[in-house]
Structure 1
């Protein structure tokens, strides 16, 4: 009789385990998408062993997941890059193609610009955003509560997000984005991450989309004193001396030790990513959660930032606001135990505008057919994607107009100022990743082919703020 009882108990345990496993597989996967702000390709030790700032928690995502070495941001600055991420359009078709005040008719999304969050929300996901939005102020059609988010806490305005100690942030309350008071002695990164951790705890039983567009390490370079100490000597001087103090300029405050402050911000970012991953494990969500980590564009040199000292672009040329690889090629680490191969490195090229359809395929969420993005879910699974891009395209204008197109390893960059002849640069990224040798004069046929692709890739902007047709005259 005892043997029969033991057999029945064992069978029950096995059945329960199988049922739980089947339930986990049938449950919609959770999505956590973390975007650092102005973090360079070379600011992670998993991408650049020469980086003087250890990033062990983010590096662990590479060990436990897949590292993509040719992933591209949507643009070379904040707002348009996020527009590409949310809407699936590259800069030849996106509504927001540059940084601008996030008002209706300028830098805010319109009612017809549906986002990844809206689509996931319609598919039964609880959606939360904690960090910097940048695509619509509270009174616009692009406000977070109108763009698919159940919860939001953080900044709407990009200039406001430069201030890490502020008396106000914004939050969705009563289904509306509203200003909330904040203690000016509180570091906003802590407030934002604490809200994200609470979101995870509160929705562990729901399929969720957690979007974390964190503000670190964007200028201004400011951190709590206790975090700065990690990069200071016993006498209080910087470990990265001699420092060149940054004097207050525009809306960036002074910083006597900008290198130490930047390092502390990257270290803080790394620690906060570690908190997110650890909580996912503690809550038992590990086997059903995709965690993405990336950056919105290349590294900055604002507010005392020193990308040369930190080798922030790694082997790449250029920084934020450039269309050289250093301005648009960004880290991408994806972790999902049992779903994404661990320790794999992939050079599959893809971009921000591919995230919407990729997440759509992972979650069985319908995506529009007319967007520029395509799904790379197969690449996440370690397989060769059936469908790939023929080319990638960007445009950007602050001063002169810049355009770039890549096809295979060939890359053409175009510079055009109003009333002046265009300048063209051609590179072969396979042999010249640092874009040092301009091959345009030697390859006129290839230049002609890629320039034709540039024309094909873009349409005139529907947003007059980003109508740059006069430059073409």
Structure 2
């Protein structure tokens, strides 16, 4: 009897122990589930370089380049048909993405920075990386920087604090690669950084990790140019670990490793991945070289698509796919050195149905692919025809983490979250476009006004030599003339005046969003100069 009682009690104890263990595991599982549920989404922002909207097969029914991985991203998320960069060239768009502010409010009024230009973003300017870092995110920048870096110099008397004009750059022979940068990505809210200073055709050709040069240059890379200009770069210092045709795979591998290392972490992560491709030099490698049967540019696009698939796979395998936002877009339209002649002869137009390409105020210069996937929130295979701008990224992130932007933060950024959730509340009144030469255009609804395209002056008041013989104002109705062929300015003078005054106001106010007026860096455009009298700083 006694023995039976002991055995019975032992069984009861085992049952209790088992129950407790199961309860603990269930509680732990619920806790983990709750933790995952309450965790802010991971964010991966991928920025292609000089990729046209017509280069993705999901956007171009007549395209000859097949992009299955990016098409699948669109099928799993939302595709925007009317997305625009804030400029039609590299650096200005990057500034807008990271700050939520138009670049022409800074000293950068035209063109781009160089590999040795000083930092464009000032210390007191909040970036999206700052915002996310301050709200519990791990932040990483991997890829083409092209926003200026304050290099350490052999001669400290040559120091430059910030970018102040197109000729403002450090003498390349004065760079001291053995010392950390004076200012770099880590000063702008990034915990980790692995970057190339500018475009793949601009020296110095070295990798910079966490604001330190990975390997100093051992020689000079000779200027390279082939007969079709597919592969061209400027002569300059190059390190032994820098191979032009391997830079894109290196950045993708770094990104995959970062995703794997930070999967399941308590903290969400933000990866800003500005690709160096398909910008010149156009350098597809095996197995993509020759794969398109079109030209090297088309091969390069295929290579990008395959490598994006590698990133998407890493996200899926991380176990956090449902709560990871992936954005894929481009910094401007396709560049002419992609060889449009060959592409069009094969039936492929990188600009799709739009006029113009990189550098232009026409749609092909700044209307870009924009795809966003967020399985927990975005309905698969959804399409938005709303007019958005790449400056909107910062306000969207602020909305996601419930951060109230101050008046001097993200002055040209509107949250896209209502669009993603298919709700009311996206309030962008108009979008200002800006060309390589500094020409302004404004878009509101179906109407687009290009102001003084051949006035002879850019936003710095400097001469424009290439643009001649154009009317003072060009007005298009994109609903009836998306190819921008018929100028309606004389027919609708009241629309010209309405849009011009709105453009002047949004420039003069120092912001296009509601809020306290802000100051711009000096702008000397004749048709708005009077309006700037009380709103400029030198």
TM over 0.5: yes
| Residues 51-90 of structure 1: pairs in structure 2 closer than 5 A | 51-90=63-102
Which residue pairs with 2:388 in the alignment? 350
Q: Given that residues 92 and 393 in structure 1 are in contact (C-alpha distance below 8 angstroms), is that contact kept between their aligned partners in structure 2?
A: no
User: Which of 321, 326, 332 matches 1:286?
Assistant: 321
Which residue pairs with 2:532 in the alignment? none
Separation of aligned partners in 2, 1:374 and 1:303: 33
Which residue pairs with 1:152 in the alignment? 193
CA RMSD in angstroms, aligned pairs only: 3.0
Which residue pairs with 2:357 in the alignment? 319
Distance apart, 1:19 and its partner CA: 4.0
Q: Given that residues 169 and 182 in structure 1 are in contact (C-alpha distance below 8 angstroms), is that contact kept between their aligned partners in structure 2?
A: no
> Which structure is larger by alpha-carbon Rg, 1 or 2?
2
Distance apart, 1:471 and its partner CA: 8.9
Separation of aligned partners in 2, 1:446 and 1:362: 36
Separation of aligned partners in 1, 2:486 and 2:185: 44
* Cα distance per residue 1:212-241 (max 9 Å; x no partner): 10011111122224321423xxxxxxx23x
Q: Given that residues 92 and 458 in structure 1 are in contact (C-alpha distance below 8 angstroms), is that contact kept between their aligned partners in structure 2?
A: no
Matched, 1:42 2:54: yes
Matched, 1:203 2:240: no
* Cα distance per residue 1:411-457 (max 9 Å; x no partner): 11121214888621111111221112211111111111111112112
Which residue pairs with 2:475 in the alignment? 426
User: Which of 498, 504, 525 matches 1:469?
Assistant: 525
Matched, 1:389 2:428: yes
Which residue pairs with 2:375 in the alignment? 337
Instruction: Give the TM-score of the pair, scaled to structure 2.
Output: 0.74
Matched, 1:417 2:473: no
Which residue pairs with 1:252 in the alignment? none
Distance apart, 1:97 and its partner CA: 3.9
SS in 2 for 1:334: strand
Q: Given that residues 297 and 329 in structure 1 are in contact (C-alpha distance below 8 angstroms), is that contact kept between their aligned partners in structure 2?
A: yes
Distance apart, 1:59 and its partner CA: 0.6
- Give the count of matched residue pairs: 435
Matched, 1:408 2:408: no
Distance apart, 1:363 and its partner CA: 2.6
Separation of aligned partners in 2, 1:289 and 1:74: 25
Separation of aligned partners in 2, 1:151 and 1:182: 23
Separation of aligned partners in 1, 2:527 and 2:201: 31
Q: Given that residues 89 and 112 in structure 2 are in contact (C-alpha distance below 8 angstroms), is that contact kept between their aligned partners in structure 1?
A: no
Instruction: Give the TM-score of the pair, scaled to structure 1.
Output: 0.84
Separation of aligned partners in 1, 2:62 and 2:501: 39
Residue ranges of structure 1 left out of the alignment (5+ in a row): 232-238, 241-258
Which residue pairs with 1:168 in the alignment? 206
SS in 2 for 1:227: coil
Matched, 1:380 2:420: yes
Which residue pairs with 1:122 in the alignment? 134
Q: Given that residues 34 and 214 in structure 1 are in contact (C-alpha distance below 8 angstroms), is that contact kept between their aligned partners in structure 2?
A: yes
* Cα distance per residue 1:260-290 (max 9 Å; x no partner): x111110111111111111111010112110
Which residue pairs with 2:306 in the alignment? 271
| Residues 105-116 of structure 1: pairs in structure 2 closer than 5 A | 108-116=120-128
User: Which of 209, 212, 221 matches 2:273?
Assistant: 212
Which residue pairs with 1:245 in the alignment? none
SS in 2 for 1:131: strand
Q: Given that residues 45 and 59 in structure 1 are in contact (C-alpha distance below 8 angstroms), is that contact kept between their aligned partners in structure 2?
A: yes
Q: Given that residues 88 and 436 in structure 2 are in contact (C-alpha distance below 8 angstroms), is that contact kept between their aligned partners in structure 1?
A: no
Which residue pairs with 2:184 in the alignment? 143
User: Aligned in 2, Cα 1:304/1:326: closer, same or farther, shift over 3 Å?
Assistant: closer
Separation of aligned partners in 1, 2:24 and 2:378: 31
Q: Given that residues 104 and 110 in structure 1 are in contact (C-alpha distance below 8 angstroms), is that contact kept between their aligned partners in structure 2?
A: no
Q: Given that residues 95 and 109 in structure 1 are in contact (C-alpha distance below 8 angstroms), is that contact kept between their aligned partners in structure 2?
A: no
Q: Given that residues 111 and 436 in structure 2 are in contact (C-alpha distance below 8 angstroms), is that contact kept between their aligned partners in structure 1?
A: no
Q: Given that residues 392 and 406 in structure 1 are in contact (C-alpha distance below 8 angstroms), is that contact kept between their aligned partners in structure 2?
A: yes
